[in-house]
Amino acid sequence: MKRLSLPCLCVALAALLTPALGHAAVSCTREGLQQAVDLYLTAQTRGDLSGLPLAQGVGYWENAVPADIHSGFIGKAMKIDHHRSIFDTATCQSFTEVIVTNEAAPYVFGTRLRVNHDKIAEIEILWTTTGYWLFDADSYLKHSSAENWGPIPAQKRDSRTTLVAAANAYLDAFLEGKLDRVPWGYPCERLEGGAYFGKGSPSDSCTVGVPSGVDIVNRRYIVDPVLGTVQVFCTFGAAHPGGPPPPADSHLFRVENGKLRYVHTMTHLLMSDFPRNRAPPPRRQN
């Protein structure tokens, strides 16, 4: 029997342990959440889930509806052109904005991961493509990649409460139109589906085109004070008896010094379905 030398034995053991160590690095720390995202992006690029440390009974949703992880969007192989992630260590979640400009199959989508110890326990994807609300992947890539979403200096970071309040003030304005209650920053640029509301001017405002009479409900938050960001999964309007389900929506905010700096929006709504899904106008008070 041929004996292995000590150096060879160490190399062999390291090779055997590498996958386990990679999975063990997934955790509720920023580094652990980043590891989960890295593994997810590799899986999404390949269209292959085998490298993901999935928890038994992992939850999987697409556009706010439970879906089959083995036949869903996550199994689509694709070349990713740009992505950015935020990390919420208080709730063990991450959110990743992903842009694919492939002419044959372009996408802009957002993926939420929830980690439980060293496993990915939940995956949720909201995706948009050609024909969906204001969709333009090339424009989304152009403007998103040019923005600064880097870490906020520690002494200038807003609290989790401030970030959530800023997001809620913006979304609340969709119902009552009370724009004066939103902590607008100047400049503030909004990227909606691919439509860009900004001219590169110090006076750019995110108030343009904010509707009223729409109740943004079913809000769920992922908050990252280090990056000054808060992402909200929600539905664009409330469900009504006999009507279609409200479209799934994602709003991603960057907040600086308590003020809105960037707003990114994705809505899983076909442009052709807009009149059918539009929420009824608010009732007048007698």
Q: What is d(CA 237, CA 215) in angstroms, rounded to the nearest whole number? A: 5
Q: What is the pLDDT of residue 20?
A: 43
C-alpha distance from residue 115 to each of 52, 58, 148, 230, 269 (Å): 12, 10, 27, 18, 29
Q: What is the pLDDT of residue 245?
A: 86
Q: What is the pLDDT of residue 209?
A: 77
Biggest distance spanned by C-alpha atoms of the chain: 94
Q: Which residues of 23-43 are buried (b: 16+ CB within 10 A; e: fewer)?
A: bebbbbeeebbebbbebbbeb
CA 179 from centroid of its chain's CA atoms: 24
Q: What is d(CA 122, CA 2) in angstroms, rounded to the nearest whole number? A: 47
Residues 6+ positions from 164 with CB-CB distance below 8 Å: 221, 223, 230
pLDDT along the chain (286 residues), means of 10: 50 44 75 98 98 97 97 98 98 98 98 97 98 97 97 98 98 92 96 92 89 91 98 90 89 98 97 66 37
Q: What is d(CA 229, CA 225) in angstroms, rounded to the nearest whole number? A: 6
C-alpha distance from residue 247 to each of 28, 131, 266 (Å): 30, 14, 10
Q: What is the pLDDT of residue 198?
A: 87
Q: What is the pLDDT of residue 24?
A: 45
Element (H, E) at 93: strand 93-100
Q: What is the pLDDT of residue 213?
A: 87
CA 90 from centroid of its chain's CA atoms: 17
Q: What is the pLDDT of residue 23?
A: 46
Which of 31, 62, 76, 57 is CA-nearest to residue 120?
A: 57
Q: What is the pLDDT of residue 5?
A: 52
pTM of the model: 0.87
Asked if 69 and 55 count as a contact pair (C-beta separation under 8 A), the reply is: no
Q: What is d(CA 266, CA 252) in angstroms, rounded to the nearest whole number? A: 9
Asked if 115 and 59 count as a contact pair (C-beta separation under 8 A), the reply is: no
Residues 6+ positions from 202 with CB-CB distance below 8 Å: 186, 187
What domains can be seen in the chain, in order of their start residue? Answer: 25-144 (3.10.450.50), 154-277 (3.10.450.50)
